[in-house]
Structure 1
């Protein structure tokens, strides 16, 4: 059964990071064998001479999440299906060397599997923006534009990690001028996994100069299991009446277009592959879905999207307070990357749901602002809730 959206649905934060949500919940078999949530740590290698560690969050109810201090990467998410059988449901690489060598455009991959991205997630047109009368230039790394923070974004940082109850606190400092961005930015991200199989990601950031910031996580989901095949039969619902069309380089035109009557209408649960091959110029530009949806909610933590895999019964509910959601259907997975299971990833073997502000917002005054000033705190939360249905 799919989730029904309400435009005024707001979910109050609780001790675990979010109150109960309207989804099917934990598999009964996993609940019967419940154990207390736990966190463990192991050495994973070195990046640039710095030790990298892998942490395993265990909900105690059949779900385990492995997170790297390099890039804050979610490497695996193991979740049970309707019969209690567990599988990894996200895409990733088996080794640290793979992430360093293949996870960004500069390294020849450009996929950002599981990574925290910033300072500015998504694209900035021509790597240029103006703030308070000053023009800033950031690295160009994608079709003449800047993508996900530039050549050395947060996905390439080794984050400082502290264990907290039920999860981790990751922190990084980006100095003034890093990748061309003004201000020293202190960013903190918390990952917590509760006994209801809800993975909460909390983001905060402060700056000492006016700057722009847009943080997200770039996990690719395949609810049937990693490397099980394409996701075209999996169903997706997005609480959005509008989306932001793009030009030929995937920069928003500034229009907030209605999804009505288009391939971008996911207001009702729809198979991801149902219209992906429609003769729509927007789909042709990105070779599939790679667009920002304008969420209907008004800023409080609310259901933004719901995905289901009919075969396994797994369900994913995404909650956020952000104004936008980038849905990417894995169009550029080209069969050259080998995943954690040793199998090759082909086109649309996974999909990303990136909670965010709109792409290129610094160059669109009509878009929600991404400006952060001294004395302010950037603060947002995203929840990925895993469950099962009949």
Structure 2
């Protein structure tokens, strides 16, 4: 098992670190900028390695690396609250908190200066890296000073653990999410429409025209959201929805499988989170470039499977809460196993 690190200067002059985790199976590249997964290289059925997430192993070329760059959140840690919050506000204990909006009047993935733009303080571990970030009271409008950690570790040659923890000194909301775009054929190798997807979910959250949950919970049976039996991704359908993973939240259990029949690569995702956000990548900005000399990313170049707390739960009290109180500990564990 090898864990290497080196320093990187970002286009805006900030100093970040890059880490490579290699246990002889998959090879994972990370950056302290945004606690970001830059690359996951996995072998195909012939043993040929390819990066199976959209991104760039050099964070200096990474879209989130500059203040004026587009926010695709490629592989980044999103927070303090990932996904959308309606009208960029929520009430907590009778007090209305107004957040920094960055998607029209709403907030997406923690705001314009979310956790994906921060330099996290990193510590090398025997099998990975742990990154720490302190978010002050009022940061992007959120109450309470939050101390967060993100741990990335190879449990075996083929399994990556992603674990988050957070504590607060005032009541607040927390939902930390890793945002990789998967393409098991390899980044820049075309659309994901041939991939076979399975999701262990009997219910999903419908959304409105602004991609915010309506508050309803609907059975997936007889809908385009029924992936209980793995099947080819519906090429005629744009997905940007949270599905409610079967089994009790708080316990790691199987959530999804993704398979590319051409390369033979398969991803098994397990998590302790209540939801899995399936985004089919239909709105990927065609201006996002992969490594020099490779094709540019475009619609459906990759898909997201984001283990998460439920979106806009701060405004939908009947959903499982994302609230964190002083003395409590926010925890999230997700396993990515490649075969």
Q: Secondary structure at the match of 1:362?
A: coil
Deviation, structure 1 residue 363: 0.3
Give the counterpart of 2:171 among 199, 202, 210: 210
Deviations 1:255-293 (A, max 9, x none): 001111111111111111x3x415xxxxxxxxx111100
- Equivalent in the alignment of 1:253: 214
Moved more, 87-96 or 189-198: 87-96
Matched, 1:356 2:319: no
- Equivalent in the alignment of 1:195: 156
- Equivalent in the alignment of 1:236: 197
Between the aligned partners of 1:373 and 1:48, the Cα distance in structure 2 is: 36
* Conserved 8 A contact 2:11-2:66: no
Q: Secondary structure at the match of 2:310?
A: coil
Give unmatched runs, 5+ long, in structure 1: 1-36, 279-287
TM-score, L = length of structure 2: 0.96
Instruction: Map 1:286-297 to 2 at 5 A.
Output: 288-297=238-247
Q: Secondary structure at the match of 1:250?
A: coil
Instruction: Map 1:1-390 to 2 at 5 A.
Output: 37-46=1-10, 48-61=12-25, 63-93=26-56, 95-99=58-62, 102-103=63-64, 107=68, 109-272=70-233, 274=234, 276-278=235-237, 288-299=238-249, 300-340=251-291, 342-387=294-339
Between the aligned partners of 2:61 and 2:65, the Cα distance in structure 1 is: 11
Q: Secondary structure at the match of 1:338?
A: coil
The 3 A distance-change label for structure 1 pair 173 and 359 is same
Deviations 1:156-184 (A, max 9, x none): 01000001110001000000000000000
Between the aligned partners of 1:82 and 1:383, the Cα distance in structure 2 is: 21
Between the aligned partners of 1:59 and 1:98, the Cα distance in structure 2 is: 26
Q: How many residues align?
A: 337
Deviation, structure 1 residue 107: 3.8
Deviations 1:64-103 (A, max 9, x none): 110001011111111001111111111013543443xx33
Deviations 1:197-231 (A, max 9, x none): 10101110000000000001000110011110000
Give unmatched runs, 5+ long, in structure 2: none
TM-score, L = length of structure 1: 0.84
Deviation, structure 1 residue 113: 0.3
Between the aligned partners of 2:316 and 2:132, the Cα distance in structure 1 is: 30
Between the aligned partners of 2:272 and 2:134, the Cα distance in structure 1 is: 24
Between the aligned partners of 2:11 and 2:165, the Cα distance in structure 1 is: 25
